[in-house]
Structures are given as C-alpha cells and as structure tokens.
Amino acid sequence: MKRLILKKGREKALLRRHPWVYSGAIQSVEGAPLAGETIAIHSASGQFLAWGAFSPESQIRARVWGWEEDLAVDADFFRFRIASALDLRRQWVETDKTSAYRLVHAESDGVPGLVVDRYNDTLVVQFLSAGAEFWREAILSTLVELINPDCVYERSDVAVRELEGLPPQAGVLFGDLPDEPLVIRELGLAFKVDLAGGQKTGFYLDQRDNRQRCREMVRGRSVLNGFAFTGGFTVYALAGGAESVLSIDSSEEALQLAQENVAINGLSADRCQWITGDMFEELRTLRDRGLQFDLVVLDPPKFAPTAAQANKAARGYKDINLFGFKLLKPGGILMTFSCSGGVDMPFFQKIVADAALDAGVDARLLYRLGQAPDHPTHLAFPEGTYLKGLVCQV
C-alpha cells in the first residue's frame, strides 16, 4: 500500500476534518506514489486517518478525498461528489434569474483542486491540484454526462498550479467555444463575458450577492468603482439608481466590455465616466483634485495568495483603503474587499481600521460580506472563505 505517515502528534488537524496535510507534518512516504495518486494517510501510531491525493511538489503534500477507510476513489467517487455539488446549487441559485454560477468549489465540495463554473451552457473548469489533474479525464467525463454542456473550456492558467509542479493549461476540452462573448443573466441583469481572456474564469461570480447589496444602497448617490474589470458593480449601481458612476481599471479591454454591459442593459451612458490607469495612481490623483463620492467600491485582485505573503500585501490594502476613505463625502460608504486567501477577516478588518485612522476619519462597520452561497465553505476548512468584504460608513 502507498501511504503517508505523519509525525507524532500531527494528526490533530485531520481528526478535525481539515483536508490539507503540509510537508512539515510528514514523517515518511511509502511506496513511491505518483503525483496526484491516491494514498492512505496514517498517524505515527498506525491509525488510518484519510485517503488523499499526493502532491510531491507542493507544501500541501496531500489533499484529502475522504475519511472512510473503505472509500474507493474512482470514477464513481467523482460522479457522486459532483452530483452532490449540483444538488446544492439547485437549492441556492435562482436559475430563472441567473445563468452563471459556480458548480464545484474545490475542497468545500469534497473535490480538492477542482473548480467548475457554469456560463449558460458552457462550463469553465480549473484543475488546480495534482489530484484533480490526475483524475481530469474521469472528471471531464462526469461533467459531460451529468450536465450535457455545449462546451467545456479549461482555464488552468493560474499561478497556483506552479505550486503543484503543474504547467498552465487553457483551451477547449469538449465541444466548441462560442466566437463571440457570451451574454449571461445575473439577477435580472445581463453581462458579456470573455471566458478565454477574462480574469478568473471570466467573471467574478462570487460577488453576485455583494453587487446586489450595492444596488440596494446607491439610489441618488455618486459612486466610484475601483478595479472595475468588466463593470459588475458599475451596472448594478446604475440599475439601482446611482446618480453617477466613475469606473477605473488598468485594462482598456475590460472597460470596453464594461461599457458594452452598460449598453446591453439599457442604462444611461451619460451617468458613466471611465478611466484606464493604475488604481493606486488614479486614487491619488482623485484625492489631489479634491473629488469625493457618496459610495466607493474597492474590489482589487488577489494581493496575497498565501499566508506567507499577507504582511507584504497589507501595505497595498492599507493604501487603497486610505485613499478610499479620503474620497468619501461625510456620511459616505466604503465597500471594500479582499479575495486573498492569505488574509483572513480579522486581519483585513485591522488593515481597514488602520487605513481609517491614517485617513483621519471616524468609520463604523455596517456589514461583513463574503462570497455567494454557490461558493460554500466547509466548516472545517476556513481557508475556503477567501472573499472578505466590509461595508463601512464615515
């Protein structure tokens, strides 16, 4: 049997059902397992703990598939786990209003390293771990069988694969990718999505509920949407009756798509302004010009993928939030986010509190926000709660 033996006393996390085994917890590996191959995980005393996928290149040396000793990790295993994930989405996604959402959310759906997002009848998949990569054909077959999509497109072109010793990959795995950007529906609004070239898998699906929260707060307000990407918060703000929205992003292509998204929803372009540029520089320029807004949205890209990078990333988060506070009118609202897995909510709140202090404002926390329920978090796996948001009023 190929197995992994933990050091004495290092089984506590697994006994609490945390699905990761770090390299530093390992005493020995027996049987020379291949990357992604299923191995038994035992305590130093020989107690069976779990079945996991072996990853020789990663600091996360094994990711747990399951805890039952008689569990068989095979094609039927993936069919059951993916079918269970689909059932959860049927309960929590209003598919009559929304045609794009997450179907499989990796560890929190019991399939570590696998992300599957649905955009109409196209699936976008990411194989982010050695285990998911090892089982990619079985996973692909299951997705085609259970969902019958028109296309399955891979977007495994992300840095986390390098940590697993895997090269980036992208391209069509099944069917044909539409030539034109897809138009998805989300809570009654429409968005063009570039699946091949857009960030993440094409759209920030995890922000759906937070965009709706923004929509409910903006009537008659002036809005700054920082890191606007393709205009998710911009469109929701306009639909909610915002007086004006200034959208800033470093990508001219993303802002062009954002303008198209405003147009296809029949919203007034006269209420929009667009700036292409570095967000840090543009925030500083807006401050120097003395401009202020009723509501500022800051939704930056990932600054700290791992906890080791959190302190370095804190400087960036503090800077943008300091400017965000300075750009608020009295009584204004800041919606600020972090999607960095290495920054937890208490740390993020401390960063934002320090930014308010340096900005010289007295701010109160109104809401803590997170990802939509199609991005669930297993209670034993807090790392699954990667999206953190705060709504603050000065």
378 φ, ψ (degrees, to nearest 5): -65, 135
- Helix, strand and coil percent figures for the chain, each rounded to 5: 35, 30, 35
Catalytic residue among 151, 272, 339, 392: 339
**Residue bearing tokens 């050695």:** 130
344 in Cβ contact with 361 (< 8 Å) = no
CA proximity to 326, closest of 353, 355, 350: 355
Give the span between the Cα atoms of 342 and 339, in whole angstroms: 9
Q: How many CA atoms lie within 13 A of 89 on its CB side?
A: 23
Strands (E), 20-105: 20-22, 26-30, 38-42, 48-54, 60-66, 100-105
Q: Could you give the C-alpha distances from 184 to 47, 96, 177, 226, in angstroms and in order?
A: 49, 12, 15, 23
Give the span between the Cα atoms of 344 and 314, in whole angstroms: 11
Across the beta sheet with 20-22, the strand order is 20-22, 60-66, 48-54, 38-42, 3-6, 26-30
53 in Cβ contact with 131 (< 8 Å) = yes
Whether residue 339 lies in the annotated active site: yes
CA proximity to 52, closest of 22, 76, 84: 22
Give the span between the Cα atoms of 160 and 383, in whole angstroms: 15
For 199, residues 6+ apart whose C-beta sits below 8 A from its C-beta are 229, 254, 301
Beta-carbon count within 10 A of 362 CB: 8
Give catalytic residues, as residue numbers: 339
